[in-house]
Amino acid sequence: MYGHSHKEQRGTTIGQTLLVQPKNWATSVDVAHLLVSRSAGIYLNTRIADRYTVTERRSELIQAAGHPENAAVLAATDAAHRETVGYVTTPIGTTPERWSTDSARLKDTPLIDFILETERKAAGSDLASTAAFSTDLVMGPGPITIAQVAQLYPYDNTLRAVRITGKQLRDYLEFSSRYHRTLASPTATLEADPQIPGYNFDIISGVDYVFDLTKPIGSRVVVLNYKGRPVADTDTFTMALNNYRQTGGGGYAMLSGSPVVYDKQQEIRQLLIDEVKRRGQLKTSDYFTPNWSISKVPFTALSNTVPGPARPSVSGAQSQIGRPSTQPPFPSGPRFLRIIATNDFHGALEPRPDANGVRRGGGSASRPARHSCSMEAICSRALPPPTCLMEGR
3-state secondary structure the chain: CCCCCCCCEEEEEECCEEEEECCHHHCEEEEEEEEEEEEEEEEECCEEEEEEEEEEEEEEEEECCCCCCCHHHHHHHHHHHHHHHHHHCCEEEEECCCEECCCCCCCCCHHHHHHHHHHHHHHCCCEEEEECCCCCCEECCEEEEHHHHHHHCCCCCEEEEEEEEHHHHHHHHHHHHHHECCCCCCCCCCCECCCCCHHHCEEEECCEEEEECCCCCCCCEEEEEECCEECCCCCEEEEEEEHHHHCCHHHCHHHCCCCEEEEEEEEHHHHHHHHHHHHCECCHHHCCCCCEEEECCCHHHHHCCCCCCCCECCCCCECCCCCCCCCCCCCCCCCCCEEEEECCCCCCCCCEECCCCCEECCHHHHHHHHHHHHHHHHHHHCCCCCEEEEECC
pLDDT at 354: 57
Q: Which of 109, 106, 298 is nearest to 189 (CA)?
A: 106
pLDDT at 391: 65
pLDDT per residue as tens, the chain (393 positions):
787 777 788 778 888 888 888 888 788 888 888 888 887 666 556 666 667 788 888 888 889 898 898 999 999 999 999 999 999 999 999 999 999 999 999 999 999 999 999 999 999 999 999 999 999 999 999 999 999 999 999 999 999 999 999 999 999 999 999 999 999 888 888 999 999 999 999 999 999 999 999 999 999 999 999 999 999 999 999 999 999 999 999 999 999 999 999 999 999 999 999 999 999 999 999 999 999 999 988 866 444 332 223 233 333 333 333 333 333 443 445 556 667 777 666 566 667 665 555 566 666 566 656 655 555 544 444 445 566 666 665
Rounded to 5°, angle at Cα 227 from 222 and 230: 35
- Asked if omega into 141 is within 30° of 0 (cis), the reply is yes
pLDDT at 109: 96
Same domain for 176 and 306? yes
Same domain for 290 and 183? yes
Same domain for 59 and 95? no
Same domain for 95 and 59? no
User: pTM of the prediction?
Assistant: 0.70
| 377 domain residue, yes or no | no
Same domain for 39 and 147? no
The last residue of one of the domains, among 306, 326, 346, is 326
Same domain for 101 and 57? no
pLDDT at 325: 36
pLDDT at 370: 61
Same domain for 205 and 114? yes
Q: Mind spelling out the 3-state secondary structure of 324-392?
A: CCCCCCCCCCCCCCEEEEECCCCCCCCCEECCCCCEECCHHHHHHHHHHHHHHHHHHHCCCCCEEEEEC
Residues 6+ apart with CB under 8 A from 29: 22, 61, 62, 64
Domain range holding 55? 9-63
| Under 8 Å between Cβ of 209 and 291 | yes
pLDDT at 313: 35
Count: domains in the chain: 2
Count Cβ atoms within 10 A of the Cβ of residue 28 and give its class: 0-12 exposed, 13-18 middle, 19 or more buried: middle
pLDDT at 319: 34
pLDDT at 140: 94
- For position 155, which CATH number holds? 3.90.780.10
| 95 domain residue, yes or no | yes
Same domain for 202 and 264? yes
pLDDT at 379: 46
pLDDT at 3: 75
Q: Quick one: CA dihedral 297, 227, 225, 228, positive or negative?
A: positive
Same domain for 193 and 301? yes
